[in-house]
A = this chain, B = another copy of it.
Amino acid sequence: MPLTAGAVARLVHGELIGRGDVELVGVAPLDRAGPGELAFLASSRHLSYLRGSGAGAVLMTPEFRALAAGPATRIVVPDAHRALRAVMAAMYPEPSPVWGLHPSARVGRGTRWEGRIAVGPQATIGAGVLLGADCVVAGGAVVGDGVRLGSRCRVSEHAVLHAGTAVGDRVVIHAGARVGGEGFRFTPSGNGSERLPHVGRCVLGDDVEVGANTTIDRGAIEDTVLEADVHLDNQIQIGHNVFIGAHTAMAGCAAVAGSARIGRYCLIGGGAGVLGHLEICDRVVITAMSLVSSTIREPGEYSSGTGLMDNRSWRRNAARFKQLDALARRITGRPDT
């Protein structure tokens, strides 16, 4: 939706410098914006792009308002990011879902919902499901028997919520996520018939986000639980009976083995691993691709691995790693054990 520079200034309660009738059809970075686009400048790091910018107008913070260089039309605001969000929300309104059931969608018996819902083509909703108001179930998604969804949830294309999963309000399940599946049937004894049936559920709190192609197994006897505002990026694996505390976020491709317990306000880096049956306390940061192999009781940042090197140097140093204990014994003078 196009806006004039004047309309943008009014929207963000900013000061308009220059022409208010410049028409803006989109937002773009300062170095790439064209005459119909709004750019933004909120940090002196990007100042060098200002002079050559072809933007129709620039949203900026007060320290840059007096600069001679760059587009003449400026909108000055105290918080450029906040203003940018407001402008983008107006320029790029989220397309409204098509409310109602698509004729090719299937809904099982005893399923109920509040207010309006949107269910896309070839979506399947099982029996005895309860959906809150304004839920969107996209095309090809599967909501299993007895699932409960709060209000304003979004289940994206091809996502699967297995039977019995319980979901809070405003939860977003991205495309291809598999939530509440029964998980790995392997038992260390190698005898699959010794495995307990998995009757626990997967329980997601309010405002949880589950990334594309992420998998979360249901619990065995207890539930697998993600508390409110947990955010999982794409391609994450969460084993059975895992507990993740509120406001914790995990980056792409991280993995948590069965029965691990992760605290609140943690940040788990991309590709990091957490072994099973251990605990991580609140406010722990695990850096990317680190492996957590024992319980962490102190908040803080933790890492494993080695830094990146050119391969030739790496080979030499990695060869020495294999001798490290022997080398250390030479230094400390202690004999081999």
A residues whose Cβ falls under 8 Å from a Cβ of B: 26-29, 32, 81-82, 84-85, 88-89, 92, 94-95, 104, 106, 120-122, 124, 139-140, 142, 145, 156-158, 160, 162-163, 172, 174-176, 178, 181-186, 190, 192, 194-197, 199, 207, 209, 211-213, 215, 217, 221-222, 229, 231, 233-235, 237, 239, 247, 249, 251-253, 255, 257, 265, 270-271, 273, 275, 285-294, 296, 298, 300-325, 327-328, 330-332
A252-B239, A302-B311, A321-B324 are known contacts. Are A178 and B181 too (CB-CB below 8 A)?
A: no
Q: Are B328 and A306 touching (Cβ within 8 A)?
A: no
A252-B237, A306-B318 are known contacts. Are A221 and B184 too (CB-CB below 8 A)?
A: no
Q: What are the residues of chain B within 8 A of A298 when measuring CB–CB?
A: 310
Q: Are B320 and A307 touching (Cβ within 8 A)?
A: no
A221-B27, A270-B273, A308-B294 are known contacts. Are A328 and B322 too (CB-CB below 8 A)?
A: no
| CA of A287 to CA of B291, assembled, Å | 11
Q: Are B293 and A181 touching (Cβ within 8 A)?
A: no
A325's contact among B27, B257, B319, by CB below 8 Å, is which?
Answer: B319
> Chain B: which residue is nearest A250 at the CB level?
B186
Min CB–CB distance A144 → chain B (angstroms): 8
| CA of A253 to CA of B290, assembled, Å | 14
| CA of A17 to CA of B68, assembled, Å | 83
Min CB–CB distance A253 → chain B (angstroms): 5
Q: Are B310 and A302 touching (Cβ within 8 A)?
A: yes
Q: Are A121 and B106 touching (Cβ within 8 A)?
A: yes
Q: What are the residues of chain B within 8 A of A321 when measuring CB–CB?
A: 306-307, 317, 321, 324
Q: Are A197 and B89 touching (Cβ within 8 A)?
A: yes
> Chain B: which residue is nearest A317 at the CB level?
B324
| CA of A253 to CA of B186, assembled, Å | 15
Min CB–CB distance A261 → chain B (angstroms): 14
Min CB–CB distance A179 → chain B (angstroms): 10
A158-B142, A235-B255 are known contacts. Are A293 and B318 too (CB-CB below 8 A)?
A: no
| CA of A95 to CA of B128, assembled, Å | 14
Q: What are the residues of chain B within 8 A of A197 when measuring CB–CB?
A: 85, 88-89, 92, 94
A184-B211, A190-B229 are known contacts. Are A142 and B139 too (CB-CB below 8 A)?
A: yes
Q: What are the residues of chain B within 8 A of A294 when measuring CB–CB?
A: 308
Q: Are A308 and B303 touching (Cβ within 8 A)?
A: yes
